[in-house]
Structure 1
Amino acid sequence: MAKGEKKLDQSDSTSNGLFFYKYISSTNSTNIFILFLTARLVSVYYNLVWDCDETYNYWDPLHFLIFGQGTQTWEYSPAYGLRSYLYLLVHYLPIFPFKPFLTSKITMFYLLRFVFALIQSYTDTKLFEGLKKLSQSDKQSFRHTHYFYLVLNLTNVGMFLSTTSFLPSTFSLYLITYAYASIYSNNLISSVFAIGLAVLLAWPFVVILGIPVAINFIIYKPIFNFVKITAISGIVILVPLVLIDSFFYGKLVVAPLNIFVYNVLDTTGKGPDLYGREPFSYYIKNLFLNFNILFPISILNVLGLFYQYLKNKTLCKNASLTYLGMFLWLLIIMTRPHKEERFMYPIYSLFIINSAILLALGSNYLVKKHKIFQIVPNMVLFIHILLSLSRLMALLFNYSSTIAVYVKLNNQDVKFSSAHLNFKSAINVCVGKEWYRFPSYFFIPEKTEVHDWNLRFLESDFKGQLPGYFKEANNFSEVIESTRHKDKLFNDVNQEVKERYVSLDKCDFIIDTDNFDDKKFNEKTKINWKSLGKFPFFDSVHNYSILRSFYIPVLYEKNVKFTHFNLRVRTP
């Protein structure tokens, strides 16, 4: 805390009836960081893996770099080179030193999530400090902005879901949060470098979010300085990126350029639309689910900023640039045919900032009218917290079995629960129609000198392209040989590859959803299986959709019907 900061906070004693406002405004940055980290640690442990892209494009390739085994998508084929190995190595470095000390690969999975929690907590703290400066610069209007940002961030389900995910869009969220924190702190060079790192190392499309950063820089410095800093940042990031990726692929590769060309410039009918096209309403529905009333509040902040401009005849630059960033991203991403929830992750902090600003403006305006209006911002916070909690409970109650069943697989009494497994060198864990809910190879028991555990795919109703496999590697040279290997089965048109499937008689374990007892399942498959665990899983066919999205006490308990994630082992 800067000298004199406490005195400044103490002079700002008006809390407008906001709970814990005085404590939050007077506490130091370390305590704020601890608050953020506490919330993120809950996400570390309880958050699920929601996107198969997270599993097969990031967790599994990282598992391959560490353990020499994992699935591979076509994007990692040297024929296409869309993914960056430097991005994986950035995540590899903080956890690899702990490998000799950990008894379970699952622990390493959660260790990396803990690293995510630390990073996001740090950037959130930086943004809180920047918003605190905004609150102090104009106490008549923005006094409570930092308070609202903290409370909304800590209790928002969208932040819970996004901040511990292993995705470039989440990595971009960290860097965008830091870049916009730098805008509020007037740290010009840091904001430009953060955007450059997000664009080149994580996701090139977040260059859109660099426009407000560029405007902010040019306001204070000549445009030549911006060009110079941008060029230096680009060289510092791009040179090691190209060198490392080209080494792993065995040819010249510029991964961010390749992914940009594939997603934007391809005119051959390929591209992301092969993986689904969604209506415009997709993001509106999704943002309501993850931000509830904050979604419209953040959008309506443009009216609050406009009113503030009319009243003071001056534009709040930082707040306006934050809104511009959010608006540009929504304008571009919402109009693209291929839509996914994770595409909104980079601006999740911006939704929180804009909501906090409008609540601060509205709170100060209403209290000036009459103190009875103090209840309004507290009601907004209460509704947001209640809906976020209801949403989170529904997700965890309905879908937590997607990880619980794989944790069960790693139990010592389960791994060799059938006598014949002791005499098998290769043990196959098979997944069928639920292949896209597989959390990662970190949840497949570790390979030993005697037993080689593998994930295998059974044919199902899905008729697109499933992942292949990296060639297993026992040392660094074999890792490089595998990353340079061109698997001729891969294609970039999402065409089914039947060679990826195994027959049921090749499976030692099956993990899938159904409600069969052992006898019926054995009759259906004509193979002897024994159930080792059944975990309730929301049955979307026989339930009200509202109960899929929100937990409603009593109504949920009385009406929800479950299918089950079943873990079965083959018996002699």
Structure 2
Amino acid sequence: MSRKKAGPASAPSATSHSANEANSIYTSTSTILASSTSTSVASTSRQSLKHRNGAAQNGHASSSSSSSTLSTKKLTLSEDHADSTDNSDSSSERFDAQDELNRRDKEMPYCPSYSVAFKVFFLVRALAATYSNISDCDEVFNFWEPMHYLQYGTGLGTWEYSPVYAIRSWAYILAHAIPAEIARLAMSANRLQVFFILRIILGAVSAHCEATLYRTVVDEVDPRIGRYIFLALLSSAGTWIAANAFLPSTFAMYTTMLFFSQMLQPPRQHSGKRTFWAIFWVGLGALLGWPFSAAVGLPFALEELLIHSRNQSKKKTVRFRDWRRMRFLRLLSAAILVLGIVLFPIIIIDHYYYKRLVAVPLNIVLYNVFGGDVGPDIFGTEPWWFYFVNGLLNFNVLFIAALISFPVLALTYLIIPDVLLDSPNSPGHIKSPMLLFSLKLSPFYLWFAIFTAQPHKEERFLFVVYPLICFNAVMTLFMVQKFIQRGLDNFVPRSKTAAIHKYSGGLVWIVLIVAAIVSVSRILALHEHYSAPLDVYRSAFDLVKVPEAIAVEASEPGVLSSSTPSASDAASLSGSKSQKPEIVRVCVGKEWYRFPSHYFLPEGSRIGLLKSNFDGLLPGEFKEKTWEGLENNTELPPLPNQPSAAKGKEHRPIRFDWRWSADRRPGTSFVPELMNNENKEVFEYYTPLDQCQYIVDVDFPGRPESDDENNDQASQSSGPNYEPRYLQDKGTWEKMYCKKFLDTTVGAGRNRWVRAFWMPNKISVALTRGQSKVWGDYCIARRKSN
């Protein structure tokens, strides 16, 4: 935001209420969120800034309110005025200004530095990397599994990776696989450790982006608002879920925070640095991550074309009628430059792996916008209020505050405009503060409106603007605080004004702390109720035993044929005994969507998908066999000679032979014949039960037996029962490790509040009229030897 005007100002001084005194304060200091920076700052101001930063870091600043949010660090002496007085008067005035700055330095609240903020954010994100669940199966099958295929040569692939459709980028996978591989080599980590190391790396990236956004709010908006957003980002359940996810929407969330940090800075007339970096981060998030994230950059483009900067500069001021043309050319040149820097390498990498020229960002837009009957809606639609419920679950009261941020801004501008209006004498004065503030708050509204209008909705689609929800929310709380202060000023004696302002600021902290407590309750509920799959598969890494003869080396896996039998229909899935499989199969049926990837299985084992009641398209295994005549993936066969430009001569093509090369990973360019984009079931992707040495399933003993019998009879009347209670067949399966998993169909689990938020058992029992939580057994079991 701008340096001298872009948000609601702080409360008036506690020692003055008259119009003359207020005007004196406004003319000597600049108000909230300045619109431009001054390039000619007096030396006394710079010294005061250093003094303020040092005092703030040592915690000496108090939380007293002031009439202007940025006045203490942006109060400057006019050089023209200093030149018009004699030396003694100038010196005296500088000392007076210095004393004023020093006095106000002590009133500023303590704000952690970037270094401290990063460490705090990283601590929380590292905990999330270890304990947070995988909330979306698309994260596994569209990103973790392809990366596992690049690293280890095996994995499941979805139809999105078929070269026919190519709506997933191998460049995005490679951008994550490289740091994961470096960590594997540096730490001699196994694949399970690589999984969590990459999640920690993603948490570190998120911590950097969050700390950058927080410090920008402190420096460019207001220190108090900076402290508010620090707590909001740190404690919200939404950022806990999104920060460590291996998803394009999470990547776009990172770039959105860095972009918004640029947008909060004041517009510059004589420098294109802010414009370039804002466009760069938007472009990187849209081209490498998710194309639709470019929508958050539209308000920035409008700001560049509508808000005129009047920052001080020694350079010649651009004529007013020419500045929009200059800004437009700057935006256009930055967009073209970023397009070349980002998109060109992506196309090269995807062409190398797909072995055809594809533009993945364009394919994503065409599929989601112009997909028609085979668009994303075939995977399910949600009602219009889906994102409202999601926002309340993950941000509770802060989501409501974010939704009403624009109406509160309008009321602030109409009722107490001096909170927004800048000093007419300020070099960064902006004539349209309402327009400026509206543009700062609009990215969240724009994104929320676009995706609420779409029938196909998923929680991850909102990840991009999770930090903007926090920003809009704390802006609302800050402006409401000013309403309370102004209202109470008219009814309390002047001697009690300072106390009123102090306690009104405390109300904001109460709201933030309550929101944090509710968010922590949400986080604890997700872990307690639904963390069993991650824990069970983590144990499977040690419990699943692979014979030495079929074990593979992590450094260079061999080519193994899965030899999964085909089935023309569902009846063949439970056919007679087949030959012994070449690899160890860990099978999963109705719980297939909670499989956390092959990183949780030891070398030499694979996941096997059993038929369940789900009748859509499941992922299939990436092609592994590269060429005929070689048993191990140790040496590539020579390429045939090709005719050269010189007549009668031949040459041998150059091959880049490395572990992740397209020749060693033929599945990247192989077109599966059975893959489709219509979500039609493919029975050939299933594994017969008799080939499973291990099975992962959930069993709910608390459910009435009569219900199970009725379900069995209903399923038999309509066809085979594809979801038997495998763990009850104790003659075939032996339980090895189990964790409790909440049953949401009986007991207290049916109550949406009980299953959504953690609460003591006494409260949940009282809320459900005497019912308690009923737990199922989420287990891994092995087949008993005959």
TM-score, normalising length: structure 1: 0.91
Q: Distance in 1 between matches of 2:752 and 2:360?
A: 40
Q: 1:534 maps to what in 2? A: 738
Structure 1 position 385 matched with structure 2 position 516: yes
Q: 1:568 maps to what in 2? A: 781
Q: Of 332, 335, 355, which residue of structure 1 is paired with 2:473?
A: 355
Q: Does the Cα contact within 8 Å between 2:150 and 2:665 map onto a contact in 1? A: no
Q: Rg bigger for which structure?
A: 2
Q: Distance in 2 between matches of 1:260 and 1:352?
A: 28
Q: Of 684, 687, 695, which residue of structure 2 is paired with 1:510?
A: 695
Q: 1:288 maps to what in 2? A: 392
5+ residue gaps, structure 2, are 1-45, 66-105, 267-273, 310-325, 422-431, 489-499, 552-579, 626-632, 634-658, 703-723, 766-770
CA distances 1:515-551 after superposition (whole Å, capped 9, x unpaired)? 469xx96796596211001111111111222211011
- Counterpart amino acid of residue 194 in structure 2: M
Structure 1 position 124 matched with structure 2 position 210: yes
Q: Secondary structure at the match of 1:246?
A: helix
5+ residue gaps, structure 1, are 137-142, 447-451
Q: How does 1:534-553 map to 2 (within 5 A)?
A: 534-542=738-746, 543=749, 544-553=751-760
Q: 1:330 maps to what in 2? A: 448
Could you tell me how far 1:417 is from its partner in structure 2?
Answer: 9.6
Q: 1:14 maps to what in 2? A: 63
Could you tell me how far 1:134 is from its partner in structure 2?
Answer: 3.4
Greater displacement, 492-501 / 321-330: 321-330
The 1:529/1:30 distance shift into structure 2, 3 A limit, reads same
The 1:5/1:362 distance shift into structure 2, 3 A limit, reads farther
Greater displacement, 431-440 / 126-135: 126-135
Q: Does the Cα contact within 8 Å between 2:183 and 2:197 map onto a contact in 1? A: no
Structure 1 position 439 matched with structure 2 position 596: yes
Q: Which has the larger helix fraction?
A: 1
Q: How does 1:375-524 map to 2 (within 5 A)?
A: 375-411=506-542, 414-416=543-545, 425-446=582-603, 452-472=604-624, 474=633, 475=659, 476-515=661-700
Structure 1 position 166 matched with structure 2 position 235: no
The 1:524/1:416 distance shift into structure 2, 3 A limit, reads same
Q: How does 1:89-168 map to 2 (within 5 A)?
A: 89-100=174-185, 101-136=187-222, 144-168=224-248
Q: Which has the higher contact order (CA 8 A, sep 6+)?
A: 1
Q: Does the Cα contact within 8 Å between 2:697 and 2:726 map onto a contact in 1? A: no
Q: 2:323 maps to what in 1? A: none
The 1:307/1:248 distance shift into structure 2, 3 A limit, reads same
The 1:250/1:373 distance shift into structure 2, 3 A limit, reads same
Q: 2:715 maps to what in 1? A: none
Q: Does the Cα contact within 8 Å between 1:515 and 1:563 map onto a contact in 2? A: yes
Q: 2:347 maps to what in 1? A: 242
Q: Secondary structure at the match of 2:374?
A: coil
Q: Distance in 1 between matches of 2:362 and 2:145?
A: 23
Could you tell me how far 1:427 is from its partner in structure 2?
Answer: 0.1
Q: Distance in 2 between matches of 1:419 and 1:85?
A: 33
Q: Of 464, 472, 490, which residue of structure 2 is paired with 1:346?
A: 464
Q: Does the Cα contact within 8 Å between 2:743 and 2:776 map onto a contact in 1? A: yes
Q: 1:140 maps to what in 2? A: none
Q: Of 167, 173, 176, which residue of structure 1 is paired with 2:256?
A: 176
CA distances 1:76-127 after superposition (whole Å, capped 9, x unpaired)? 0111111000011111111212323334211111111111111111111111
- In the alignment of these two chains, the number of paired residues is 552
Q: Distance in 2 between matches of 1:145 and 1:571?
A: 61
Q: Distance in 2 between matches of 1:505 and 1:117?
A: 41
Q: Of 173, 179, 204, which residue of structure 1 is paired with 2:291?
A: 204
Could you tell me how far 1:375 is from its partner in structure 2?
Answer: 4.0
CA distances 1:404-452 after superposition (whole Å, capped 9, x unpaired)? 00011112xx223999999975100101001001111111112xxxxx2
Q: Distance in 2 between matches of 1:55 and 1:505?
A: 26
TM-score, normalising length: structure 2: 0.67
Q: Does the Cα contact within 8 Å between 2:347 and 2:358 map onto a contact in 1? A: yes
Q: Secondary structure at the match of 2:179?
A: coil
Structure 1 position 190 matched with structure 2 position 277: yes
Q: Distance in 2 between matches of 1:153 and 1:251?
A: 42
Q: Does the Cα contact within 8 Å between 1:326 and 1:351 map onto a contact in 2? A: yes
Q: Of 188, 213, 224, which residue of structure 1 is paired with 2:300?
A: 213
Q: Distance in 1 between matches of 2:726 and 2:587?
A: 16
Q: Distance in 2 between matches of 1:522 and 1:350?
A: 46
The 1:25/1:6 distance shift into structure 2, 3 A limit, reads farther
Q: Distance in 1 between matches of 2:697 and 2:437?
A: 49
Q: Does the Cα contact within 8 Å between 1:37 and 1:121 map onto a contact in 2? A: yes
Greater displacement, 50-59 / 99-108: 99-108
Q: Distance in 2 between matches of 1:525 and 1:418?
A: 25
The 1:521/1:129 distance shift into structure 2, 3 A limit, reads closer
Q: 2:145 maps to what in 1? A: 60
Q: Distance in 2 between matches of 1:194 and 1:477?
A: 29
